[in-house]
A and B are shown apart, each in its own frame.
Chain A
Amino acid sequence: MDLNGGNHPVSDSLRVENLCHSFVDAGTSVDVLKGVSLEARSSEITSIAGPSGCGKSTLLYLMGLLDRPCSGKIFMNDVEVQDLNDIDRTRARNKSIGFVFQFHFLIKELTALENVRLPLLKSGTDRSTADEKSIALLNDLGLKNKSHRPAYKLSGGEQQRVAIARSLANSPKYLLADEPTGNLDSKNSDGVFELLLQMAQSLNLSVVLVTHNEKLAGRADRRFIMKDGLILA
């Protein structure tokens, strides 16, 4: 699979069309997404806001190929990807998609540097290049002297920045952030958002930001509001 465009025009957009998804909960089928369509463009932050349970995180995981939709289409670089096999989905998650979650989800047995270089080593980058790139990323994110510190010894804001560094390690085209500031105070929240904005522009990333924070959502280039599995605006 060629997510870099192949013969298609290079747009680096992440697009979903009429996406539907449902879960079976206690024997009952619950429709979480009821035909969602949206597009996230490169160098832009696209925010998805809405109340809890409206389906915004589910939409993000479908866009990030962590789950399969019941129906509808997902396009990366205008290539249809929702039916990719497991190997191609895994490869796409490693090389083209970066995830940032509300809880940093770092591996506590590893240092900050080791956490950041994991996707690089997984993609086959040699160890010295991976270390070089990871340290550069950590430096850019203000963690210059903390790269060899165990993940669990970092503060909440630092851990989230390590998680962002990890999501950017393989220079993805799409950065999917699920409530990345939900666990941070307002100062750290602003810092993380600024970072995402800066990364989107400098790295030509398509950033999709799921958030409760209306202030941050309002600062995005494109804004969507979801309710009951539908895009309202």
Chain B
Amino acid sequence: MLCLELAWRFIIARKRPMLLSLSGIVFGVAFFVLTQAQTSGFEQFFIRTILGTNGAIRISDQFQDNVGTVEKVDQDGKVEFLFHSREDSLYREGVDQPALIYEALKDYPEIMGVSEIIEGNGVLNTGSRKSSIEIKGIRWVDHAQASDLISQIIDGSIDEFAADQMAVLLGSRISQRLNLKVGDRVRLIGGTGNLHLRVSGIFETGVSQIDKNRIYLHMGTARSFLGRFSGGSVFQVALKNPNRAPAIAQQLQNVLNHRAVSWQEREKVWLDVFKALRVSSGITVSCILLLSGLGIFNVFAILVIEKTRDIAILRSIGFSPQDVSAIFLWQGAILLSAGVFVGSLFGYAGTFLISVIPLRIRGIFSTDNFVVNWDLDHYLMAATIALFFVSFATWIPARRASKVEPAKIIRETL
């Protein structure tokens, strides 16, 4: 505690250089938190939307192995052979025996919801405008459990959809493009002919690609329109823990003999883009912390030179080299703690301010505000990076201080 007390006294005796050093840490931590909150905010928004719209796992085509690899596994004296393949498999479109697959998936403990979907394409025609769309035929009760569809409906309701077999749910961008409102009639062209549908709801996921292309129909209506009266469907699966999707997808694929793709694999391109953005901004902002570390190094290096005589006198009255070193390390620790604390407060306040800035984006995402992610990990990461730079910046001068030879310094002072 004596070393801590001396460290504190040395700091408050040098307010200006110490405040400069402190401000470097404060701004570094605050900017780190801010940039991470923004970049990961959009990433989390994307992930939430994708999970809520397309589920954690998609089970599609059945495959037959043509060429593969055989692995021999010895376990408790038993010998098993595992066959691995996918790339070299022969796929058959759609899920075979959907009812059986559905029942099997429902019993899987980590699965929260399963929805069978029939997919196809068509053109919506209002008379004055046309738009190509993707059709998703669903059983709404199942789909509501495997997605956030109900909460994504911004106009109309799922009840209206449920009540009418000829009802359609439109993506918000389709409704804008075709100028359609709830209750309007619209013609679906393609497949086996024409269907006259009634708009029962408009949904918005926030991901433009979905909102401007997707419509939902009842399963029976979609099958009839697409002329696929059995089979050919896919499954959308929601998980209790979406982070386990890759492992569970692998298990399902092995057990069901159908292609199962996790959301991480499905959205790899976008996730890689977000990761690159996050790492890039992290590196950029870490440079601020690096610069503040250099500033602290400079201040402490000068301080050690200034305090050489005091170090010698402390040594002469019984302070060990480790004690001397501790005095300087404590100074670094005080600056670090104060910097991380104040920087985190600024980062928190800044993140809040940014989250309320009106920002209309209609590109990859649809949002009216900056999307931010409140994550404790950002603060811990900022603190860790600051700890790394500040430790390094104080450790070298502290080590130098501990190596001061008292007799030499006192002799040279006289």
> Which A residues have a C-beta under 8 Å from some C-beta of B?
57-58, 61, 64, 66-67, 86-87, 90-91, 93-95, 99, 101-103, 105-110, 118-119, 121-123, 166-167, 170, 178-179
Contact = CB atoms under 8 A, between A and B. Distances in A.
Interface string B377-414: 00000000000000000000000000001111011011
Nearest to A94: B318
A101 B414 contact: yes
Contacts of A110: 9
Interface in B285-337: 309-310, 312-321, 323
Contacts of B320: 86-87, 90
Given A66-B407, A102-B414, 18 more contacts: A57-B414, A67-B405, A67-B408, A93-B315, A93-B317, A93-B318, A99-B316, A103-B413, A103-B414, A105-B309, A105-B313, A108-B13, A110-B9, A118-B2, A118-B314, A122-B2, A122-B323, A179-B414
A118 B315 CA distance: 11
A67 B414 contact: no
Interface string B1-39: 010001001100100000000000000000000000000
A66 B318 contact: no
B10 A90 contact: no
Nearest to A111: B9
Contact of B407 (A67, A103, A107): A67
Contacts of B318: 90-91, 93-95, 119, 122-123, 170
Interface of B: 2, 6, 9-10, 13, 309-310, 312-321, 323, 405-408, 410-411, 413-414
8 contacts: A66-B315, A66-B407, A93-B315, A93-B318, A103-B413, A107-B314, A121-B2, A123-B318
Contacts of B321: 86
Q: Which of A95, A103, A166, A170 has the most CB of B within 10 A?
A: A103
A92 B407 CA distance: 16
Nearest to B319: A122
A106 B313 CA distance: 8
A172 to B, nearest CB: 10
Given A109-B10, A122-B2, A178 B317 contact: no
Given A107-B310, A109-B10, A110-B9, A118 B407 contact: no
B330 to A, nearest CB: 14
B414 A64 contact: no
